[in-house]
């Protein structure tokens, strides 16, 4: 937060960003001599140990020394785009520096992590924790007390004593145990279905829940809209053919490059029997065959990423290895426009 908005940051009108209800936080380095720091580490570690069936450790001094000796990688903030309400594009210094991994990579990584059966863990090896505020030896209130007061220190808010923490926690638990737990359970149930390989849409459920009534309604999700051929499209004022018939927004055509645009057009033309005259990527028009004098003809010998890098204001982020291309043109032999999925063109 402070990396994006330093304490002396000003908004577009020159007023301090950290003012009024917005209070600038302070980072707190770990201090083994601070009882609250040690309590937070102790409570957190012991709660995790209980869940995993590991013997708990209540030696505060030993825990403090182990925590101090633990190597923590240095925090390296990422530069991301943050646009405040009413402001235009962020400064160049706030441009995205690091790019998130590809969606397919992230999904595969998550699926691999969820294969608990392959690492020999079953439900019998895990022990759920039932919250109990009146047991001073289970670390429940200790964790809440330490976490809440450390956050209070971040924002220079008045801290609470242990007894007050217990009283407040006892009052808000009903809300936590209903809404949050219920939604988490519903989402978790759908994730279990996905991980187990259920592919039919009927196996999944949408949920609408109103605790004030109370009303619980579960329904089957609506299938993704399918793009179908039209004999007459009111926008294009003519026939439009879907290639392939019935594709959805989740479908894509994957092209392994790099290759010049001319070769890309030839490859797609032979495979789908289309003549491509328009290519865009986001807000950037990479190729337009309708321009007077065929001004974009020279781009046919260049790669899409080369053209994009030259004309786009926002450059391709470091680490990104593809461009999402939207195509336009006609179907060969039919003289009508076509509609096809986004082309995911890999240039690395």
pLDDT tens string 62-96: 999 998 898 888 888 777 767 666 665 444 444 44
- Write b or e for each residue in 259-285: b if 16 or more Cβ atoms lie within 10 A of its Cβ, otherwise e: bbbeebbeebeeebebebbebebeeee
> Which part of the chain is CATH 3.10.290.60?
230-346
Mean pLDDT, rounded, for 24-37 = 91
CA pair distance 209, 320, nearest whole angstrom: 40
For the chain, what percent of residues have pLDDT higher than 70? 91
Distances (CA, A) of 20 to 11, 15, 341: 13, 11, 48
| Cα–Cα–Cα angle for 20, 25, 31, rounded to 5 degrees | 155
pLDDT score, position 59: 92
pLDDT score, position 257: 85
C-alpha 298: how far from its chain's center? 38
CA pair distance 328, 337, nearest whole angstrom: 7
Please state which CATH class domain 35-160 belongs to. Answer: mainly alpha
pLDDT tens for 231-276 read: 998 888 899 999 999 999 999 999 998 999 999 999 999 999 999 9
Confidence of residue 45 (pLDDT cuts 50, 70, 90): very high
> Which part of the chain is CATH 1.10.10.2660?
35-160
Mean pLDDT, rounded, for 127-139 = 87
pLDDT tens for 175-228 read: 666 778 888 899 999 999 988 888 888 899 999 988 778 889 999 998 889 999
The helix (H) or strand (E) run that includes residue 37 is helix 35-52
pTM summary value: 0.53
Specify the 3-state DSSP secondary structure of 254: strand
Question: What six digits make up the tokens of 251?
Answer: 């479908």
Phi and psi (nearest 5°) for 308?
-60, -45
pLDDT tens for 267-318 read: 999 999 999 999 999 889 999 998 998 899 999 999 999 999 999 888 888 8
Indicate if the pLDDT at residue 174 is higher than 70: no
The CATH number of the structural domain formed by 230-346 is: 3.10.290.60
């Amino acid at each position: 937060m402070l990396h994006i908005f330093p304490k002396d940051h000003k908004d577009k009108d020159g007023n301090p960003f950290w003012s009024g209800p917005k209070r600038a936080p302070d980072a707190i380095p770990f201090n083994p001599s601070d009882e609250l720091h040690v309590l937070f580490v102790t409570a957190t570690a012991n709660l995790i140990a209980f869940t995993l069936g590991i013997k708990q450790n209540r030696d505060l001094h030993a825990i403090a020394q182990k925590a101090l000796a633990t190597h923590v990688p240095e925090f390296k903030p990422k530069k991301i785009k943050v646009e405040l309400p009413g402001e235009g594009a962020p400064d160049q210094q706030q441009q995205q520096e690091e790019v998130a991994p590809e969606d397919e990579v992230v999904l595969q990584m998550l699926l691999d992590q969820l294969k608990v059966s392959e690492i020999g863990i079953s439900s019998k090896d895990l022990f759920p924790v039932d919250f109990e505020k009146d047991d001073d030896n289970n670390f429940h209130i200790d964790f809440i007390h330490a976490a809440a007061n450390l956050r209070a220190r971040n924002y220079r808010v008045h801290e609470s004593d242990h007894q007050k923490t217990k009283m407040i926690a006892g009052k808000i638990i009903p809300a936590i145990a209903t809404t949050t737990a219920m939604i988490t359970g519903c989402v978790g149930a759908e994730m279990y279905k996905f991980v187990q390989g259920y592919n039919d849409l009927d196996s999944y459920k949408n949920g609408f829940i109103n605790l004030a009534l109370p009303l619980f309604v579960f329904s089957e999700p609506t299938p993704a809209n399918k793009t179908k051929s039209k004999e007459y499209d009111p926008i294009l004022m003519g026939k439009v053919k879907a290639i392939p018939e019935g594709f959805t927004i989740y479908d894509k055509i994957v092209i392994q490059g790099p290759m010049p645009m001319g070769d890309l057009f030839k490859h797609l033309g032979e495979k789908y029997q289309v003549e491509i005259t328009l290519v865009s990527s986001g807000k950037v028009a990479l190729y337009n065959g309708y321009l007077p004098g065929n001004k974009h003809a020279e781009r046919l010998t260049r790669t899409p990423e080369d053209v994009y890098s030259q004309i786009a204001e926002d450059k391709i982020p470091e680490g990104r290895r593809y461009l999402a291309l939207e195509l336009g043109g006609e179907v060969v032999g039919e003289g009508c426009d076509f509609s096809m999925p986004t082309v995911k063109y890999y240039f690395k």
